[in-house]
Structure 1
Amino acid sequence: MFSSFKGLGFPQTTQGGAAPKRGPRLWPVLLALMLGLPLPSWAVTCTNSNGNQPYPLTFTFPSPLVVDNSMDDGEVVASITITQGAAGGGGYSTCASDTRLWYEGIGAYTLVGRPVYPSSVEGIGIAIFNYSPPGGYFPQMSDRSGASWVVNSSALVRIDLVKTGPITGGSLSGPFAYSTLKFFDGTSFNHTVYQFSGSVPVVLKNPTCAVTTPDVVVNLDQARIGDFATVGTTLKEKDFKVSLACSGGTAGTKTEVDMSLADRTTPANVSQYLSLTSASTASGVALQIVRNGSAISFNPTVNKFKVQDVLPGNSTVDIPFKARYVRTGTITPGKVQGIAVFTMDYK
């Protein structure tokens, strides 16, 4: 810019008749004049119908959000795809000059197969995909400029919660991204804010189990009446087991396995004697189910017992029992049959 003034000046006379010298004698004056000129201002203001606050786009995830630390980094923990209208978006922003619309998450993103922004929970990041032009993952810039911007209620957006490392648990809450109107002077105006609906607890996944022996038949050996010396005498114990197949779970978690037994013939029975079915022809005897040397009391409402804690890596759990006869009175010989129903409870 200054080079266009090179050589400007006025001829000056010096003693001795020397030729007048030409030079940029007015540079300081020109600089002063130039510095004194008003420069154009790029500061632009915007308004909207939401009290000049960004329009909220709210996303609802399952609560609590159960996650598994055994997932690989980069895998999607949970995802939601909805329109901005369904997320509560609506309205418009108007500016005094053309702007560009930028889509950016909060914080510095890292590349985990795509740009992933941090969340409030260690090990979970957020990737935002915009289906509208220009399309793609945040961050991105609109493919046009303008002074008026509408929150497009039909525009689709996808929020991916991505595993980025060991997940510690906690809660997802608050804003995680903005669409921002940016001006030439570097100032900006938040157009929309992307946020979680309330607080979403993040719970580490516990091991899960399923019964692999839903029907267990125990055939006791025949007993002699004379061997039942007195009421309460027990005979002919036989081992059996209930088995579970367990899998999954995050390091540091466990699943408590509880169990209860009910008397199918007499559901209200809370004693240690399993009633005989109508198919039985004997009398004066009952059946008992024994665990760890003690007869189990029936009724799942009042007589639940703990089996064990299942940890990640426990693939098979066998629950050992014994079945036996017990004398309850004067014995009549015949067939003995009882049916117990077991219920598993996991927590």
Structure 2
Amino acid sequence: MRTLHKLGMRVLCVLGLLVIAGQALATCTGTTTTSPFTPAQVSINKNTPVGQVVSSATVTLTVTCNGSSAVGNGWAMNYTPQAPLQSGQMVLNAYGTSMAGLGYQMFGTGGVLISPTTYGTNGGDNFGPSGMGPKHLAGLNSTSTYQFSLNLVRTSTSLTAGTFSDSLVRFGYQDGNYGCGPSLGTCTSQFGNEITTPVVFHFVNPACTITTDTANQVVSLPKASTADFAAVGAIAKPTNFKISLQDCVTQTIVSMQLDGNTQLPTVLSNTGTARGMGVQLTRNGAPVSFGQVMTIGNVGNATTMDIPFTAQYYRTGAMSGGTVLSAATITMSYL
């Protein structure tokens, strides 16, 4: 009886080892490489639009599968974002990150946008060589390479300053039958996290500077004669000039105000010797009202801006010959 008992134990042990060895044959191994995020230094301000891409990187995943004992007929790859989705990110097709106001968009082969799902963990999903979703399986015995683009985007105005370097997404695989056999604990296996290189965000106040050559300029109007002005209100000799801005913080909203001694709300007084004459400035064909703030516009992603104007003579009353001299000061404001 002792001999039979020992023999039975040996048989059970051998069978157990065979079962374990059979399960171990069905595996996939993967390697993940991520290019550095560029730019690594990002300047933002309060006007940086929500949804704007601020830095990008590329992830390459190579997977080799051995499926000699798999239950299904292929392998489903999967990606799992590492942070929960935040309010408003689904509208931007963006996944969450651990940094307030920062998310990321994910693109597959050919630049196809991969939108967050409503059913996967943190918006994740399955994928395979032929596309996204659970039906696109890699072969049981295969090697596949997948490439993804990750774009960091501003998802709310709460993104200000700081350094971001957390992992964004984890990749893994599972048996294509999704039941994963009797051992549900081995349903999904992970390859590891995508590694994010640091991205430093700087919050800067909106600003520009006026170029030296246009900050203090003299606009010379051609000579005119009294015959050029048939009546009060007549204008002559329009001459174009511009105010140029440089070193602008992107997305800066520019406003300006022109001030000076005026005869009329839109006509500068003449301090020269001619009588019945003033100088009018126009912008986009409309007279400039002195002492009033004008919204010029947003510089967008540029760092320079030209603001064109036209100066012209303006008859204000009875005329006599002489010189015409007027002056205006410029006040810039930035939001």
Question: Structure 1 length as normaliser, TM-score?
Answer: 0.41
Between Structure 1 and Structure 2, the one with more helix by share is 2
Greater C-alpha Rg:
1
Question: Structure 2 length as normaliser, TM-score?
Answer: 0.42
